[in-house]
Amino acid sequence: MDIYIKKAILHAFDPGNPEIVFSENLMELTPVMLDYVTKKVEKIYSDEAKRGQLSGGNQFLALLTDDFIASTVAVANFWREAFVLSEKQKQNDLLFVEYELETQTHFAFIRLSLRDSFSHDFDATSGQIKIRKSESSLPGAGSAADEAIAINRVTNTYYLLEKRIKYNGKSYNYFSENLLADKPEISVNKAIKAIKKSAETVAKSFDDDDFAFSQKVQNAVFHAVEKQEVLSPEGLADQLFADNLTARLAFKDKVKEEMPEQIRFEQMPMDKIEKKLANQKLSLSNGIEMIVPQSLYEDAKTVEFIQNDDGTYSIIIKNIEEIKNKW
């Protein structure tokens, strides 16, 4: 993913102060800061991100103008109005970024919750190296944002990482519901979990919920991800329940409760998603655990799963040239 950072600015939110502390000037993008900001933006494009597209008259979109700094002030104030209702508030730095991705301008808002950290320094007077605590340290470059949105300024499509806040004892997706006034599609990660749960629930109702079916579900999702195809209830239903029309319809209806539309993989961390699905992890009743790569799972010359007449299973692992004990 080639991200070109054009501008960045940092504002500070402290729940003990009535107003946000605003920077008047843009950040100096030194090589170190450029690397930090770039990595924070990259983390938005996660399999945990919800996605959607804002309409032209959207209230959040109306805050974004050609004046970058003024836009960040408007968004920060709008965000604060909703966030201050949260029952648990901490100090946060608000990072705003203008960048190009695939030649199109994007606007990002990243909330960075400050945290405790420890450092050491040398006290020349006492001759000691002392440990000092800081209560306002930014998270590392490699960590995910506490909350973030990236908006394509050409298409108005967005990627959203949001956290629920608690208000009056109830939890709210305040960012999508209050700030965006939009209902994004569920994340890729949540969609995969919904597919797994729905498929296994339907299979159980038809007495077809053994480990082989669970493997079949994972295999179908893995191949869709590997080919970067869309994940659609219809396509998966045809693969998983090819011989059972009633089960196919039941699966489609159940999945669409959480995943009404097909899931796309544009600008997703495909390596990370594939890695999660790349191995079949089996836990056997006798205490043995196995990891079978997807590439070998379907290869009968390598591994074979057999159901015995008494209902038990046998697993035959073939053509092994070497065994290593990794402990």
Give the orientation angle of helix 211-226 with respect to helix 270-277, to 10 degrees.
160
- pLDDT of 44: 93
The phi-psi region of residue 311 (left if phi > 0; otherwise alpha if psi is between -120 and 50; otherwise beta) is left
Question: Which residues is 21 bridged to in the sheet?
Answer: 12
DSSP annotation of 15 reads: T
Rg from Cα positions in the chain: 25
Alpha helices by DSSP H, 53-187: 68-83, 174
The low-confidence residues of the chain, meaning pLDDT below 70, are 115-119, 133-139, 207-212, 228-229, 259-261, 265, 267-270
CA 225 to centroid of chain Cα atoms: 15
Question: Which residues is 283 bridged to in the sheet?
Answer: 289
Q: Classify strands 170-172 and 104-113 as parallel, antiparallel or unpaired.
A: unpaired
**Measured in Å, how far apart are the chain's first and last C-alpha atoms?**
37
DSSP state letters, 309-324? TTS-EEEEE-------
Alpha helices by DSSP H, 131-243: 174, 188-205, 211-226, 233-240
- pLDDT of 240: 78
Angle at the Cα of 80 from the Cα atoms of 75 and 84, rounded to 5 degrees: 165
Span 189-210, pLDDT tens digits: 888 888 888 888 887 777 665 6
- pLDDT of 106: 96
- pLDDT of 270: 67
d(CA 173, CA 166): 9
DSSP state letters, 21-86? B--SS-----HHHHHHHHHHHHTTSSTT-EEEE--TT-TTGGG--S-HHHHHHHHHHHHHHHHTT-
The structural domains of the chain, with segments of one domain joined by +, span 3-179
Q: Do 85 and 167 contact (CB within 8 A), yes or no?
A: yes
- pLDDT of 281: 83
- pLDDT of 292: 83
Counting Cβ atoms within 10 Å, is residue 196 exposed (0-12), middle (13-18) or buried (19+)?
middle
- pLDDT of 94: 92
